[in-house]
């Protein structure tokens, strides 16, 4: 029988006292083992967490910023890196080319009028859409120089677009001035980004579309554009025809000029030769005028007589035709017939 008088007093049998003491000791040992196991498990987990938090990986298209006690430092090298847990923290940024639209929704392709509607220098309204491409070049500046660098870039882009578009007439924005407008906007955005120094670089800005805000005006501008294209086509055709005909005309003119120059030179040479012959003849004439005159007479007769037929009439009706070889050559028959006809004519006349 067991009795309890006061708390902590035991009045039972010695055997029961021993049994109870053994149970109490076993309970204390079990609780101690459980505590040790929990502590060991916690230590293992803590070591695993610290070991896993001590390394970080940087990909090919990333850069990291390692912050040590509030001081950031860029880590551009790719691969596996070490950091001190609880003391150092890592922030990664994407360095690939990224972009956003201005003037339309990229998902629905619907027009955003608050961004696209602008006014030109000749006070016409126009809807213009752009797409901006950029990349992060300075991760530290990107993370700490401003709260929302993309929003700053978009505001700069919108301001630059409105400034440049507002300095052009509506025809230039719709047709021939797009390339120049894009170039000026890009230069202006680049300059402002350098002033802001937010770690972002502009890669490109392109004008996607430009059109008047109403269908009627759109149609009118399309007709104007078609007329301009027709004008350019006509000018191109005219220039093509001119380029085809001009070389031929120039070649023909050059040939005429060369022929004229050749004729001119030939006549000059002939005249100079005649002058030389005349001067030589005059020199001979001065030395002996009579002989020179006779020689000139004979030379002239030699040139004239071979092509002439001379008829000598002695007055008795007998004709002689010189040169005499005509009676022995191909013209002999014709000469005899002619002489016979003349004789008959004279006889009939008598």
Same domain, yes or no, for 204 and 296? no
Same domain, yes or no, for 114 and 203? yes
Q: What is the number of domains present in the chain? A: 5
Which structural domain, as residue segments, surrounds residue 289?
A: 222-306
Q: Is the pLDDT of residue 257 over 70?
A: yes
Same domain, yes or no, for 158 and 191? yes
Structure tokens at 48: 């695993």
Same domain, yes or no, for 185 and 245? no
Same domain, yes or no, for 84 and 147? no
Same domain, yes or no, for 144 and 43? no
Pairing of strands 79-82, 117-119: unpaired
Cis peptide bond N-terminal to 152, omega within 30: no
Same domain, yes or no, for 79 and 102? no
Q: Is the pLDDT of residue 83 over 90?
A: no
Residue with the bigger pLDDT between 330 and 165: it is: 165
Which pLDDT score, from 0 to 100, does residue 15 have?
Answer: 65
Which pLDDT score, from 0 to 100, does residue 102 have?
Answer: 93
Same domain, yes or no, for 144 and 155? yes
Q: Which of 154-163, 261-270, 321-330 has the lowest mean pLDDT?
A: 321-330
Which pLDDT score, from 0 to 100, does residue 327 have?
Answer: 47
Domain boundary among 185, 213, 241: 213
């Amino acid at each position: 029988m067991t009795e309890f008088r006061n708390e902590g007093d035991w009045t039972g049998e010695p055997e029961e006292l021993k049994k109870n003491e053994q149970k109490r000791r076993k309970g204390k040992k079990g609780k101690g083992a459980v505590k040790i196991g929990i502590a060991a498990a916690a230590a293992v987990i803590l070591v695993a967490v610290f070991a896993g938090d001590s390394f970080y990986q940087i990909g090919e298209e990333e850069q990291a910023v390692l912050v040590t006690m509030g001081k950031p430092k860029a880590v551009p090298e790719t691969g596996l890196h070490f950091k001190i847990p609880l003391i150092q923290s890592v922030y990664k940024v994407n360095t690939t080319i990224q972009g956003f639209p201005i003037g339309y929704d990229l998902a629905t392709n619907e027009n955003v009028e608050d961004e696209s509607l602008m006014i030109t220098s000749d006070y016409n309204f126009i809807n213009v859409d752009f797409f901006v491409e950029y990349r992060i070049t300075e991760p530290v500046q990107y993370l700490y120089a401003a709260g929302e660098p993309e929003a700053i870039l978009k505001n700069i882009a919108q301001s630059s677009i409105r400034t440049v578009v507002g300095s052009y007439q509506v025809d230039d924005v719709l047709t021939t001035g797009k390339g120049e407008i894009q170039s000026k906007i890009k230069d202006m955005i680049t300059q402002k980004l350098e002033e802001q120094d937010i770690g972002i670089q502009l890669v490109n800005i392109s004008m996607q579309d430009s059109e008047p805000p109403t269908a009627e005006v759109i149609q009118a501008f399309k007709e104007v554009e078609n007329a301009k294209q027709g004008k350019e086509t006509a000018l191109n055709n005219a220039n093509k025809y001119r380029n085809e005909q001009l070389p031929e005309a120039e070649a023909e003119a050059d040939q005429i000029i060369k022929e004229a120059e050749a004729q001119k030179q030939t006549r000059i040479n002939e005249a100079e030769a005649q002058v030389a012959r005349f001067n030589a003849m005059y020199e001979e004439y001065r030395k002996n005028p009579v002989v020179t005159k006779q020689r000139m007479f004979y030379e002239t007769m030699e040139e004239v007589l071979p092509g002439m037929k001379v008829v000598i009439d002695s007055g008795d009706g007998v004709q002689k035709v010189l040169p005499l070889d005509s009676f022995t050559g191909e013209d002999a028959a014709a000469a005899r017939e002619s002489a016979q006809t003349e004789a008959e004519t004279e006889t009939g006349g008598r």
